[in-house]
């Protein structure tokens, strides 16, 4: 290998190592095949993140405002369902939204990811692979093992307290 080629290779590797030039990685699909078929049929326009979380913006909120960051308290309204439509949990009363702090391991990973992308007033439909939900154990008796979850979630408010 000549000196010029070695320098270019070294420069490229240095840029990759520092993060200036990202390395493209194939992201594996986290939805089981049978769930993927249902999701693609019912929600063909759902956007997919690198973690395989899927979402549809049902209502835009304050898109010019900030999004919550770890440590902030969030208030949400939500309905949690299994892929077949069975509701397993919900908080729908605007006077008593579900409140929790993000970034403290209080929430499933799919919620953590989504909430940090949402804006005040946004309402999203989330499709959460089991790896970003309750995993291989589920949450018996209402959520079975390896369950793909669907949430209608609205970010009502957020802030430091």
Closest listed residue to residue 153, CA positions, set 75, 84, 82, 46: 75
> Using CA of residue 141, residue 32, residue 85, residue 105, what is the dihedral sign?
positive
94, two tokens = 């605007």
Enzyme catalytic residues: 78, 88-89, 108, 134, 151
111, two tokens = 């919620």
Give residue limits of the domains in the chain.
28-159
Q: pTM of the prediction?
A: 0.81
Q: What is the pLDDT along the chain (161 residues), one digit of tens a residue?
A: 677 767 766 766 666 566 665 555 456 788 999 999 999 999 999 999 999 999 999 999 999 999 999 999 999 999 999 999 999 999 999 999 999 999 999 999 999 999 999 999 999 999 999 999 999 999 999 999 999 999 999 999 999 97
Q: Among the CATH numbers 3.10.50.40, 3.40.50.880, 3.40.50.2000, 1.10.1520.10, which is that of 28-159?
A: 3.10.50.40
Which residue is listed with tokens 């840029």? Answer: 15
């Amino acid at each position: 290998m000549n000196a010029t080629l070695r320098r270019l290779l070294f420069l490229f590797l240095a840029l990759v190592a520092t993060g200036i030039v990202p390395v493209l990685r194939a992201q594996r699909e986290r939805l089981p095949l049978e769930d993927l078929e249902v999701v693609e049929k019912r929600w063909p326009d759902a956007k997919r993140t690198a973690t395989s979380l899927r979402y549809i913006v049902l209502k835009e909120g304050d898109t010019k405002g900030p999004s919550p960051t770890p440590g902030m308290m969030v208030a949400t309204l939500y309905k949690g369902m299994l892929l077949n439509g069975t509701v397993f949990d919900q908080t729908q009363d605007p006077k008593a939204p579900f409140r929790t702090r993000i970034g403290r391991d209080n929430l499933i990973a799919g919620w953590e990811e989504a909430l940090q992308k949402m804006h005040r007033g946004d309402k999203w439909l989330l499709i959460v692979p089991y790896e970003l939900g309750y995993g291989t154990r589920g949450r018996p008796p209402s959520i079975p093992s390896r369950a793909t979850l669907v949430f209608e979630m609205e970010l009502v408010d957020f802030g430091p307290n």
